[in-house]
Structure 1
Amino acid sequence: MTNFKISLYTRYLFLLLFIFSVGIISAQKYAYKLGEVSMAELEANVFAKDTTADAVIISEYAYRTISSKKYTLRKRLKTPEIPSRGFAQNRYYDMIPYVLETEFQRKVKILKSGGLSQATVEIPFYNIHSPYREELIEGVEAWSYVLQNGEIVRNKLKKEDVRIVRMNDTLSQVQFTIPNAKVGGVLEYKFKRVTSMEYANLNWEFQSDIPTMFSIYETFYYDAFVVNQEIKGPFEIKTHAETEHPGFTDVSQSEFAGRNARRILYVAQDIPAFKKVDRIWCMKDYTPGVRSELLATRYMGYVPYADKWEDVENRVSVESQFNKNNYGSMFYGKELKALLKPIKSEREKIEAIYRFVKKKIKWNGVYSLYDEPQEAVNKGVGSNSQINAVLMRALYRNKFYVYPILVNLRSEGRFPASFPTYERIKTYIICVHTSDGEKYYLDGSAEYGGLNMLPSDLMTDNGRTLARSFMLSEGQSNGNVNLTDINSADTHVNIIGRLDENGRIKGQLEQVYGNLSAMFFRENIHRNKTSNLRNEAEKLGQISDYQLANHLDNLSDKVTENFGFSIQLQQSGENISFNPLLFSSFLFKEQLEEGRTLPVEFDVPKSIHIHSEIEIPENYELIQHLQPAQEKLSSGAFDFQYTIAVQDGKIVTDYVLNMREVVFAPTDFDELRKIFYIVVEKNQEKVLLKKR
């Protein structure tokens, strides 16, 4: 088994051709075996494909399989025996006897002093030793290689220098520092991770914080385990797959005798260092790697985990008692009945329930898929799923058609494109219908938002409704839900001012924050105790009669900010120059860099409408006119209109921008770049007045 794995790995290695200035690693068949470090690797001192790199991964290799060594794992961790639960009670515990084994090794070249940090290695792992969740790191070995007097000197990590540090109640780290690491040297290390399958993460990432020259990820799964795998990211990843009928020398694997196995090699070359890109929800959606998830098992009959979305639904139901928690008897029954009795409007009833529950239970900052709601009712604080369970019970018991939508957080990545998923489900939100067909979206984490005002991290573009068990109407199947367009951030600004002969503008400003803008405003006020616009106005001049409306009502879809202002403009002789929009905090300021290859992902759709009227003195004339602008993306997802004119002694300006979608593909970039440039140009343009 081991010999075959090594021979197959060697057979599919690519020739490595990487050029270093002042040293060349020449083309060769690079049989990656620990301890084989060449003079060329040690003499090279610059990585030509990224001369800024402090270090580079010369090669790395990972091998992953599912095996039946759970009892060995328990013996090593000294955890209790697995209690008998019975297959009929919970079929998903049939994976308890199995573990995911991952062998990993890496070779790193240190190019600059900044690369010496690569000698310190930290390997996180779960420290929960229960019958159902166990993990350990074993077989840690490491070496450094340096040139001294033309000879290769090797230093090995001592076992006593490998330490385990407990980080918190659930995570620990294996930590070690490879000895004698020096600039110009090479480091090697390896380890093995063993994880109980119930909580194993089958995904793999190729990209690191330093460039990677060559990487192989190999999977070997017996056909008792049906694993979905999907390549992601913009870089080419070559694959080779083989079906095998291996022999057995390990009695712990004898239950797989007679079964086939599938081996897949994923090979990546020339992967640049990871760099965060602005306006991307989750970089792991675009980094090179392999998404994987257990679809089913078939060693005790066919047991689906995530073969179809219906399997995911069943698993959610079994593991979380979802129907019981979310459609049980109503909490706060007497109080809610009294509250709702005089309310006739269905929307107002939904709002009343939403307001009541959020007042009773504060969000604790945790997103989860299921937690016992009674605990949150008792404590007055809970996760979003606990609050949602209380909400769903109240809505359901008051005859509303209500169901959950499964989501992952934007910041943690989308669901896979080619197969259903259970592992990537983070939480759920609520959708409730009225009898006239209106739909409203709610979540317990929306502390400062009302109906259809979700935190942007929940507004994913591939949520998933649950099907028959959750009351979807007859004939309506479960499906994907795009939550990015359920609401928008709307801003309406009205500026009325008068310029006097001394160059001072006095006037009144009203800004109306609508829908998601209202929620974001309340969040900002709570966090910073003031608004961005007020800060800017006070820096530019003086404000008076400052007023806010609806900012304390967390369900309101509108907040109004109002104040008087007085701003002294700079004069140059008899000329006065100023931007007729006066303030910039409410303007659209996005720009799109050249050479971008990844999509642009904004937070939420938005609309901005600014109307400005500035009366000018009779003894001044406009000598520099600004030009109007009108631009529109061919898809209609983005448009901008800017008009300016002198009417009845006033400079009248209208600035209207609409962004109806949040994700734009690289094919839109040429158009978008042009539009963004014009928007930013109009943000900054000034009119010029001259005294007659």
Structure 2
Amino acid sequence: MYKIIYLSLFVVTMFFSVNQILAQEKPEFGTILKSESEFTFYEKDPEATGIYLSEYGHNFFDVRDNYIWLITKYHAKVKVLNMEGFKNTDIEIPLYHSKKSKEKIVNIRAVTHYNGMRIPVKAEEFYEEEVNEKWTQLKFTFPNVQEGAILEYEYEMQSPFHFNFQGWEFQTDIPKLYSEFYAEIPGNWLYNRSIIGSLKLSVDESRIISSCFKFPGLKQDSDCEALRYAMKDIPAFKDSEKYMLSANNYRSRIEFELSEYKSFYGGTDKYTKTWKAVDREFKTDGDLGVQLKKKNFFSKSVDPGLLTQGDDLTRAKNIYEFVKNHFTWNEEYGVWNDNKVKNAFDQKKGSAAEINISLINLLNAAGINVNMMLLATRNKGLPKKTHPVMTDFNYLVAKVDIGEKSYLLDATNKYMPFGMLPYHSLNYYGRVMDFDNNSYWYDIVPEKSNAIMLRAQMTIDASEKKLTGVFDLINTGYKKVVQDEVLSTTKEDSYIERLEEEISDDFHIMSHEKQLKYSDEKKLTERFNFEMENLFQGDNIYLNPFVIKFFDNNPFTASERNYPVDFGYPMKYQYVLNVKIPDGYNVKSIPENKNFSLPDNGGVLKLNVSDNKSDTLNLFFTFDLNSAHYSNAYYAGLKQFFNEAVKSQSQSLIVFEKI
């Protein structure tokens, strides 16, 4: 799905590759080439509103005033191709700070080049703005920005935080002609290096420079590894299309993570730990391990029967329902958020971590085999598997083992059935923190039966010139969860009115009820009685058989897609209709049958209308997506697949003619 390569920073000395000839010489600030001035259109992306003409970054360590600073130099030139939709006039540079130290920007300058003029950003127009307790940002706005202008800026960032070694973003929301990153890293600092994304590097070089770093007072200098990465003709990263995981999984970039520091005075600090070390730390962590040892408090705070009555599965389900109903989620994610489960229980409100840790404590008190599982939500990005990176995780749930089956539980959503995780947690895998043994990775497998099904019967009364009918709406799995919330938070009149508006002005719902006899924990059945008008035109009756459409538009509009399609879970849409042919009429025309399928049993679309020369007409439509995830190789097929489904629902017509 995506490519991540982890390398140890200090490897055997490598020669500069033949790609060295592709590296460009960094231009002097203020130099605008004739080709840059005349650049007006990017053939590889005709819709681009702007483009990076060039972009350079340089990271290195430097001793200033007897302190080692991590230095980042940056220089970029951006061409404005079309003012409509161009959003790069405002620049924000994030700066990290602690209580004692902070990053700072020096030697910053910015200029708008237009029609031979240079309009600089004045010194007083650069300003800092606080974001939160750890971050500020330096901001400025380019002046006199017009179509054809070139926006150029450069700066130097000084950072006292050696762990915050800046990586490099090759892909942004506009394309780049050339982007290059160069770094010189002394051997005292070891970093894990990650190349993320599917785009190929034009330059990928590494070499050792002898005695490149001098520390005052020491005779021996450090060697450095010099790294150079570059890309040419980088497409914009467009994440406006639906059904994708976090852009962090796909946007091409390079990340660095401090693994080890060897002091100039001796001694070594290790920052990247093993999972065994993390497991040990978690047991005593105040936000997690300690909070997981509160089962005595919880066992005294609930009805004893909740923990003792029934077999393991019954008790687990009852406890899960209790926690869902007891708590209100405050919409906070996070894992290390100063969790206080006792306070949360007493207040009946808490974060996702506090609610699910409370669930784990109660399950432990009931003697159920349960562990905490860390995961990243869909908008966060997938956790790295090669080594622990705890900032990759922002959520936790419970993993319950009963007999031969395992269940993942999250009690934040009051409508979620036992054994299903909320949609935002359907992110491939998580890390189960088994403190009695060792932690391990565990796959998140979504519910397989997720469907919206309609069963409709219609009768047309020619004398009254109206249609009457009944349809059953059946939602299962995640579709049922959504519908449960709609029905619980919407008044009946508002619900009916909204449905009628979505369907047609000529459609009227006469009655609605839940069919509890045909519903269960993962299935909801509703029955509607309805009438339709204005079907008669002259001697003919025109009926669009799809009373309710599953989707009006194709969600996939881009010509191509460079990242996977992820629906979160497999899904099915099915429509079955039985319509009685009105007395005194014949069937004049019916929709053509269709039968499409995606490769490797990825999906099926069928439309079949049968006229058996009897008094009824039968329609069967199914649209099945058999997988939750599709590689981008499927994109063209999926786009056509959805297009056929939309056409089937919007362009199908049954015509009856008067005899």
- Residues 441-460 of structure 1 correspond to what in structure 2 (within 5 A)? 441-460=408-427
Q: After superposition, what is the alpha-carbon deviation per residue over 1:185-221, rounded to whole angstroms, capped at 9, x for unaligned?
A: 4433223445565974754311233332211122333
CA deviation after TM superposition for structure 1 residue 630, in Å:
4.1
- Residues 126-275 of structure 1 correspond to what in structure 2 (within 5 A)? 126=96, 129-130=98-99, 135-144=102-111, 146=113, 154=118, 156-168=120-132, 171-178=135-142, 184-194=148-158, 197=161, 200=164, 203-237=167-201, 238-251=203-216, 259-275=222-238
Secondary structure of 2:357's counterpart equals helix
CA distance change for structure 1 residues 288 and 166 in 2, over 3 Å: closer, same or farther? Answer: same
Percent of aligned positions that are identical: 20
The one-letter code sitting in structure 1 at the alignment partner of 2:137 is Q
Report the aligned-residue RMSD.
3.8
CA distance change for structure 1 residues 328 and 192 in 2, over 3 Å: closer, same or farther? Answer: farther
Secondary structure of 1:449's counterpart equals coil
Contact 1:47 1:53 in 2 (8 A): yes
Secondary structure of 1:547's counterpart equals strand
CA deviation after TM superposition for structure 1 residue 493, in Å:
2.2
Contact 1:144 1:185 in 2 (8 A): no
- Residues 468-487 of structure 1 correspond to what in structure 2 (within 5 A)? 468-469=434-435, 478-481=440-443, 483-487=444-448
- Residues 50-65 of structure 1 correspond to what in structure 2 (within 5 A)? 50=45, 52-65=47-60
The one-letter code sitting in structure 2 at the alignment partner of 1:638 is G
Does residue 91 of structure 2 align to residue 121 of structure 1? yes
Residue-pair matches, total? 630
The one-letter code sitting in structure 2 at the alignment partner of 1:220 is E
- Residues 593-632 of structure 1 correspond to what in structure 2 (within 5 A)? 594-632=559-597
Whole-Å Cα distance in 1 between the matches of residues 51 and 57 of structure 2?
A: 17
Contact 1:543 1:565 in 2 (8 A): yes
Aligned residue among 650, 653, 658 for 1:686: 653
The one-letter code sitting in structure 1 at the alignment partner of 2:208 is T
- Residues 560-639 of structure 1 correspond to what in structure 2 (within 5 A)? 560-585=525-550, 594-639=559-604
Aligned residue among 16, 31, 34 for 1:36: 31
CA distance change for structure 1 residues 169 and 145 in 2, over 3 Å: closer, same or farther? Answer: closer
The farther-off stretch of 207-216 and 47-56 is 47-56
Secondary structure of 2:601's counterpart equals coil
The farther-off stretch of 673-682 and 447-456 is 673-682
Does residue 339 of structure 2 align to residue 377 of structure 1? no
Aligned residue among 645, 651, 660 for 2:610: 645
- TM-score of the two chains, using structure 1 as the length reference: 0.80
Aligned to 1:657: 623
Whole-Å Cα distance in 2 between the matches of residues 557 and 282 of structure 1?
A: 28
Whole-Å Cα distance in 1 between the matches of residues 347 and 159 of structure 2?
A: 34
Contact 2:282 2:288 in 1 (8 A): yes
Alignment gaps of 5+ in structure 2: 1-14
- Residues 666-681 of structure 1 correspond to what in structure 2 (within 5 A)? 666-669=632-635, 671-673=637-639, 675-681=641-647
Whole-Å Cα distance in 2 between the matches of residues 272 and 338 of structure 1?
A: 61
Whole-Å Cα distance in 1 between the matches of residues 64 and 305 of structure 2?
A: 57
Aligned to 2:3: none
Does residue 379 of structure 2 align to residue 415 of structure 1? no
**Which of structures 1 and 2 has the larger relative contact order (alpha carbons within 8 angstroms, sep 6+)?**
2
Whole-Å Cα distance in 2 between the matches of residues 272 and 537 of structure 1?
A: 40
Q: After superposition, what is the alpha-carbon deviation per residue over 1:228-276, rounded to whole angstroms, capped at 9, x for unaligned?
A: 223222322231111233344453xx78955543232110111233322
The one-letter code sitting in structure 1 at the alignment partner of 2:626 is R
CA distance change for structure 1 residues 192 and 399 in 2, over 3 Å: closer, same or farther? Answer: farther
Aligned to 2:357: 389
CA distance change for structure 1 residues 140 and 649 in 2, over 3 Å: closer, same or farther? Answer: farther
Whole-Å Cα distance in 2 between the matches of residues 117 and 672 of structure 1?
A: 31
Contact 1:144 1:180 in 2 (8 A): no
Whole-Å Cα distance in 2 between the matches of residues 129 and 633 of structure 1?
A: 53
The one-letter code sitting in structure 1 at the alignment partner of 2:320 is Y
Secondary structure of 1:652's counterpart equals strand
The farther-off stretch of 206-215 and 153-162 is 153-162
CA distance change for structure 1 residues 147 and 613 in 2, over 3 Å: closer, same or farther? Answer: closer
CA distance change for structure 1 residues 53 and 652 in 2, over 3 Å: closer, same or farther? Answer: closer
Contact 2:447 2:477 in 1 (8 A): no
CA deviation after TM superposition for structure 1 residue 451, in Å:
1.6
Whole-Å Cα distance in 1 between the matches of residues 415 and 156 of structure 2?
A: 46
Whole-Å Cα distance in 2 between the matches of residues 209 and 673 of structure 1?
A: 23
Contact 1:58 1:213 in 2 (8 A): yes
Q: After superposition, what is the alpha-carbon deviation per residue over 1:259-314, rounded to whole angstroms, capped at 9, x for unaligned?
A: 54323211011123332241322233222212333344455766654465445545
CA distance change for structure 1 residues 656 and 57 in 2, over 3 Å: closer, same or farther? Answer: closer
Aligned to 1:94: none
Whole-Å Cα distance in 2 between the matches of residues 194 and 582 of structure 1?
A: 64
Aligned to 2:476: 514
Contact 2:474 2:523 in 1 (8 A): yes
Contact 1:606 1:658 in 2 (8 A): yes
Aligned to 2:75: 105
Secondary structure of 1:610's counterpart equals strand
Alignment gaps of 5+ in structure 1: 1-7, 17-28, 73-97
Contact 2:325 2:414 in 1 (8 A): no
CA distance change for structure 1 residues 115 and 348 in 2, over 3 Å: closer, same or farther? Answer: closer
Aligned to 1:400: 368
Whole-Å Cα distance in 2 between the matches of residues 256 and 621 of structure 1?
A: 101
